[in-house]
Structures are given as structure tokens and as C-alpha cells.
Amino acid sequence: MSILRDKNILLGITAGIAAYKSTFLVRLLIKAGANVKVVMTPASKEFVTPLTLSTLSKNPVFSSFVDEDDDNAVWNNHVDLALWADLFIIAPATANTLAKMTNGVCDNILLATYLSAKCPVYFAPAMDLDMYKHESTKTSFEKLTSYGNKMIPAATGELASGLVGEGRMAEPEEIVSFIEKDVLGQLSFHGKKILITAGPTYEAIDPVRFIGNHSSGKMGFEIAKAAANLGAEVILVTGPTHQTITHNLISVKPVVSADDMYNEVHKHFHSTDIAILSAAVADYRPKNVADQKIKKKDATFSIELEKTKDILKSLGEIKENQFLVGFALETNNELEHAKAKLKSKNLDLIVLNSLQDKGAGFGVSTNKVTFITSSNNSIENPLKSKAEVAKDLMQQILKQLNA
């Protein structure tokens, strides 16, 4: 999954022959999972039609402050457009528009939207060779980048005039790749590898039955998503669950038993920067597993259990520079038990939640947690969605790493 998934992207199109490429750019952004809206200069409609762009983006296209065909004269609010956008891409960006952007000229809806934008702005120049090399154009490039805008370099190739040289707009694939790399490079956990466990484990009694628990895996999957959205490479080791996830930075490793999870976690731990163990691993398993289904004969039936390997403790014993996070689900003396677990397992952070708290625990979309740090600080959080808890957890980890 692209890092652009679910991003609101505003595409600005100006009046250059390269505007025909904007149709392909819209398609690629949609394919990446982004929400796309298009704003055009009036003259750009001579090169590509609003109808085409509207059909591809599945959104209205804006080229004037008031819809020309609207008898009610509804105002197209450039401020709302600018605030909606997570990213603003101007491609193609002509010399004329770049000069106006540089000097604050505001004579169309695209430029008004640009001046109202609070999000990152990218521009992909497209013009003839002599225009591209002109000192005034170079000044536009320098000033616009000094304002914080990001230039997507033009390519060298055959131009509309027949000349060969710089000025050709980057190809749509190159534009998307440039932005993806730039967004990733700014994310807090870019370059970090994070190991996460999720879900329950199933401990076999016989080929049909098992000992398990009510964990759905939702919390672990949300943590994986939050980590990947911050640029981390994620290894998600998950027990049996109905949860699914698709993200190009997340590698899912399905397991069944506590022993399976132990082995998979240890396979990846040494190359990991951060490990977050949120799985509800069985503490005990049947000592003897029947080869055949056990028949129902007696009124009572006993199973001898033995302890499973303590995955979290085993990592605490061998960790070097890894940041290790554990979870504690308690029903009584919550804070006391969580602090004891934090210390005995050599953790940097433990996430405590209680089954006594309404809306927390297994099988629900919310959680109420307390973060307890290795310095014994407790940070209590209100009831939130598990997605929000996951984001809070990543910020807490970042805070401790940067302390």
C-alpha cells in the first residue's frame, strides 16, 4: 500500500501542453489510494477537459470562483479546498504560473488556493528549454523553494518546440515516486524496523480442539498500521484472527501457537529497533496433545497443562539497543502488577489496560490505557478508539526515544 493511501491530494493544472499527462497522474494517485480533487487555471482547459479529470478523480473540477453553468452562482471556496488538502501538487507548472506564485499574484482560483494552502506544496515545472534556462525562471525556482515549496525536477528530452533539453515535465510515475519518497523521508519512524505481535495463540488439545482466548487482534493491527503510516518497516507476527491489513511497509507473519510465535519473534528481534508485544499469548498449553479427536466418554475430563515460553521476558533478557514494549491486561491491582511486569521483564514501556474499564479489552473497537515508562512515570489516557490509542503509543515511544 502506498504512503499516499487515504491522503487528500489537490492537483493543480496550468496551461501547458504537458497538461495531457495530468490525466495519467490522476489515475496513478487514485490507484495509490488517495482522494483527489483537481483545480485548474481557466486557460488549462484548452489542453485537457474538466470532464475527463472529473470522471477520473470522481470529484468536481474547479476552474473558476463561481461555476459558470450554475444559475445559482455557488461560490467555490478556495480556502476550503486548501484546508481539505494534505498535499498540493501543481503539475504542470508553467513559467507564467510559477512567476505569479513567486510574487503573490492571485488572478485565478488555483493561485488563490495556493496562497491559502497550509499543506506541503509540490510543483513540477513544464516549459520550453529557453524559458526553463531564463534567469527570471531560475529566480522563481529559488524563491518558491525558499518559501518551503518542493520542486520536482524537470526531465531532459524532446520538447513541444522540437528542441531537446531540460524543461520536460517529469513523468507521472516519477512525480508519484518523488512525493512518496519525500513524504516517507519526513516521517518519524522512517528507517526504523518495528516488530509487533497481535492476536491470540491457539494451543492444541487434539486435532479439533484448542485452548485460546478472546483476543481479536484489533489493537495489534492498529499499532502496525500506525507504525507503518509513520514510515516504519513493520513485521507483524499475528496469531489466528479475522483482521486483515494491506500496506507495502507491513509484512504479516501468521502463526498459531505460543511456540510458533516465540520462534517467529526471535527470528526477527535482532534486526529490530523497536518491539511491541501486544499479542495475548497463552500462558499454558496442554502437556500432551492427542493425535486423534478425544471422544466424549466420561462426565469429567482433565487436561494437564504446562507453561509456555515467556516471549516478552526472553526478549528482555537478550535485548541490546532495542526499545521493548509490553502489554498488561489486568483485572485487579492493575498498576502494581503492571509495574512489576515492567521491571521483571526489562521493558522500556508497558501499556496497561483493565477489563474493569468499560469499553476496554477484547473484541471492542475502543481501549482505555495507561502508559508506564521505565522511569516509573504513569500516563493515564481516556477511553479512545484503538486507532487513536495506537497513534498515542507511537508518539509515547518517540518521546522516550528522543528524551
pLDDT in tens, 257-273: 999 999 999 999 999 99
> Parallel, antiparallel, or unpaired: how do β-strands 369-373 and 349-354 relate?
antiparallel
pLDDT of residue 77: 87
pLDDT of residue 163: 74
Give CA–CA dist 45/14, Å, rounded: 9
Q: Which helix (H) or strand (E) holds 372?
A: strand 369-373
Show which residues are catalytic: 213
Q: Is 290 exposed, middle or buried (0-12, 13-18, 19+ CB in 10 A)?
A: middle
Contact 292, 206 (CB under 8 A): yes
- Convert the pLDDT of each residue in 104-114 to its tens digit: 999 999 999 99
Low-confidence ranges of the chain (pLDDT < 50): none
Q: Which three cell numbers stand for residue 355?
A: 477489563
Burial track 28-65 (b if 16+ CB lie within 10 A, e otherwise): bbbebebbbbbbbbebbbebbebeebbebbeeebbbee
- pTM (two decimals): 0.76
Taking the CA atoms of the chain, what radius of gyration do you get in angstroms? 28
pLDDT of residue 365: 82
Cβ atoms within 10 Å, residue 367: 24
pLDDT of residue 73: 65
Give CA–CA dist 49/90, Å, rounded: 17
Structural domains of the chain, with CATH: 8-185 (3.40.50.1950), 193-401 (3.40.50.10300)
